[in-house]
Chain A
Amino acid sequence: MTMPQHSAMPLLEVDDLHVRLQTQRGPAEAVRGIGFTLERGETMGIVGESGCGKSITVQSLMGLLPSSAKVSGRIRFDGAELVGMAESELCRLRGNRIGMIFQEPMTALNPLHTIVRQIGEPLRLHRGMSAGQARKEVLALLERVGIPDPASRLDAYPHQFSGGQRQRIGIAMALACGPDLLIADEPTTALDVTIQKQILELIRGLVAERGMALILISHDLGVIAQNVSKMLVMYGGSVVEGGPTAAVFAERAHPYTQGLFGARPAIGAPRGLRLATIPGSVPELVDLPPGCPFAGRCRYTVDACRATRPPAVRLPHGHEVRCIRLDEIAAQEGAVPA
């Protein structure tokens, strides 16, 4: 397989992306001005809790949002602008240049179609393959993703496979046309931890082998740590912190990031330890203040936090944080807790 070519232009450039959704209580901004770039072959993770906008962000990349959603900003994929792109053009990209793996292996596959038909669908659609050619290609894909005895399983139905195998089939579908970008939205959340390890290893291997860029969404910091070289922390539709994974894990500059790390129970920790929690709960999208979305729950909140969106503060190694209280935080926290 060829090594990724680093051309001058990044594969994916997202700039000032806003997504407005219709909710029962009126329109609300689900994504508030996020931006990032992704080079060919680069791996990026997005970590955040429910409602932070991570799924909406990647859905807007694929143009999979409901028609009532309004997207503004710029998404440049290999030079082409995706915001406002015609549906027919987007269809040419989906499954072809951009592949997506979904969270629920049970529901992401059509129970009434054989797997050879489902995996072959992008091949026949985008590569114009005949049924026979697609069949051969699907066989090769199934072997690569580790389905045992694939030749005999081509005409099987999804319900005849286990959860982990179904996710492998989903991966095969996403990869069929050799996309430049692979998006995995919580691909292992619904799987056992031992299966999760296998699936993540598979994805890592395929990404390295084919030089694909990867966007991996997870709520699990361990998954992020082991699989991506840079990461974004999202809260309330904004990126509150972003940068190389090692830097973010080491520095944890933003209070929300600190809260997220502190809230995890650890294996081997002594009994009786109280987990550090973030007080309150995530507010509704319509109730988020115009400024920093974490204002109010953050113990360093001041009035200025609510007023305007904090500008990005650059830290070393390409690490960025959106917080106006960094100095006070550093003064109070002292050394970063391990």
Chain B
Amino acid sequence: MSTHADPKADAGSPLREDAPVDGARFDPDPQSAPLLEVVDLVRHYTLPRERLFGPSPVVKALNGVSFSIRPGRSLGIVGESGSGKSTIARLVMALDTPSSGSIRLLGRDLQRLPRDELRAARRDLQMVFQDPYGSLDPRRTVARIVAEPLEALAETSRAEQRERAAEALDAVGLRANDLSKYPHEFSGGQRQRIAIARALITRPKLIVADEPVSALDVSVQAQVLNLMQDLQQQFGISYLLISHDLAVVNHLCDEVCVLHRGLVVERGAPQQLFAHAEHPYTRTLLAAVPRAEPVA
């Protein structure tokens, strides 16, 4: 079992809560072309004006975040609410535009692509959402839900879409006759598998998973995590995994970034990072996780 550093022990540490550790500075690996490269991502939101005269309040969700993912490797972003992690997911998926900074997928800046090229680029970039009950359209059959990314690309016939949907369902452990059912006929874990099947159908290189197992029971979570791990090994998929759960990130990711108030305060391989955390925030986070060792 790893040891967790006592946050009180470094009361005299020169590191401030909001200052990242040295190792958190981003050094791109010059050797292999990255799959995803995010440089100095900033996102500020202006809220509606509260007073007639005076400036509108600004929410600084992200204040300069950089990371990269090499093909076949997975990165985890760990943080609490308000850290900006969901904002990163939306920005990487080009569902939102950054205030500044760049996001490159396979070398191409997603923000500068014309609309149809962006749509084509999404073939390599898919997403799994947190809520298994909300991320599937209740009005559509599983077949149409899973095939939606292919529908959007508009390159395949309906028959071929259905075939690929059956393949995707098989890859996640569901059956072909589930294709004509509706989401409400499935449990939470099964729905999350359907969501993963939808993300797989275009055979993407990168899947952004925003809290994919947070809404699931522990035993169901284990099944889905094993599935995600199998898919990693089988298809060489990279994950950008966003989670508040350090153990989940530990399980699936080669590298972890700890996000606090819109900045990466520490990064590294999970096993090393969680054993020898340097930044006070990382230590606070680790110390807060209740250990499964009875005290009473």
- Measured CB to CB, the residues of A under 8 A from B are 43, 49-50, 163, 192-194, 196-197, 200, 219-223, 225-229, 244-246, 249, 259-278, 281-282
User: Pick the contact of A193 from B188, B190, B244 — CB < 8 Å?
Assistant: B244
> Does any Cβ of A come within 8 Å of B99's Cβ?
no
Within the complex, what minimum Cβ distance (angstroms) separates B292 from chain A? 5
> Does any Cβ of A come within 8 Å of B33's Cβ?
no
Q: Which residues of A contact B80 (CB under 8 A)?
A: 192-194
Please measure, in the bound complex, the distance between the C-alpha atom of A245 and the C-alpha atom of B296, giving whole angstroms. 7
- Chain B, interface SS category: helix
> Does any Cβ of A come within 8 Å of B223's Cβ?
yes
> Are A276 and B222 in contact, CB atoms less than 8 angstroms apart?
yes
Q: Which residues of B contact A196 (CB under 8 A)?
A: 288, 290
Name which of B152-160, B199-207, B246-254 contacts chain A. Answer: B246-254
- Chain A, interface SS category: loop
CB nearest to A230 among chain B residues:
B296
> Are A275 and B222 in contact, CB atoms less than 8 angstroms apart?
yes
Q: Which residues of B contact A264 (CB under 8 A)?
A: 218, 222, 247, 292
> Are A277 and B226 in contact, CB atoms less than 8 angstroms apart?
yes
Interface residue ranges of B273-291 to A (CB < 8 Å): 274-275, 284-291
25 A–B contact pairs at CB < 8 A? A50-B217, A163-B81, A192-B81, A197-B288, A200-B290, A222-B289, A222-B291, A225-B293, A226-B290, A227-B290, A246-B294, A261-B292, A264-B218, A264-B292, A265-B247, A265-B248, A266-B1, A266-B247, A267-B2, A268-B270, A271-B270, A271-B271, A275-B222, A277-B222, A281-B190
Please report the total number of B residues contacting A with Cβ < 8 Å: 42
CB nearest to A228 among chain B residues:
B296
Please measure, in the bound complex, the distance between the C-alpha atom of A325 and the C-alpha atom of B275, giving whole angstroms. 39
CB nearest to B187 among chain A residues:
A281
CB nearest to B220 among chain A residues:
A281
Please measure, in the bound complex, the distance between the C-alpha atom of A259 and the C-alpha atom of B221, giving whole angstroms. 12
Q: Which residues of B contact A226 (CB under 8 A)?
A: 290-291, 294-295
CB nearest to A274 among chain B residues:
B226
User: Pick the contact of A275 from B187, B226, B289, B291 — CB < 8 Å?
Assistant: B226
Within the complex, what minimum Cβ distance (angstroms) separates B86 from chain A? 13
User: Pick the contact of B217 from A163, A200, A219, A261 — CB < 8 Å?
Assistant: A219
> Are B293 and A249 in contact, CB atoms less than 8 angstroms apart?
yes
CB nearest to B218 among chain A residues:
A263
> Does any Cβ of A come within 8 Å of B262's Cβ?
no
Please measure, in the bound complex, the distance between the C-alpha atom of A263 and the C-alpha atom of B213, giving whole angstroms. 13
> Does any Cβ of A come within 8 Å of B20's Cβ?
no
User: Pick the contact of A223 from B189, B225, B290 — CB < 8 Å?
Assistant: B290
> Does any Cβ of A come within 8 Å of B141's Cβ?
no
Within the complex, what minimum Cβ distance (angstroms) separates A136 from chain B? 33
> Does any Cβ of A come within 8 Å of B219's Cβ?
yes
Contacts A226-B290, A265-B251 given; indicate if A270 touches B285 (C-beta within 8 A). Answer: no
> Does any Cβ of A come within 8 Å of B111's Cβ?
no
User: Pick the contact of B271 from A244, A268, A281 — CB < 8 Å?
Assistant: A268
Please measure, in the bound complex, the distance between the C-alpha atom of A163 and the C-alpha atom of B288, giving whole angstroms. 17
> Are A194 and B296 in contact, CB atoms less than 8 angstroms apart?
no
> Are B229 and A270 in contact, CB atoms less than 8 angstroms apart?
no
CB nearest to B79 among chain A residues:
A192
Q: Which residues of B contact A244 (CB under 8 A)?
A: 296
Please measure, in the bound complex, the distance between the C-alpha atom of A56 and the C-alpha atom of B80, giving whole angstroms. 30
> Are A269 and B221 in contact, CB atoms less than 8 angstroms apart?
no
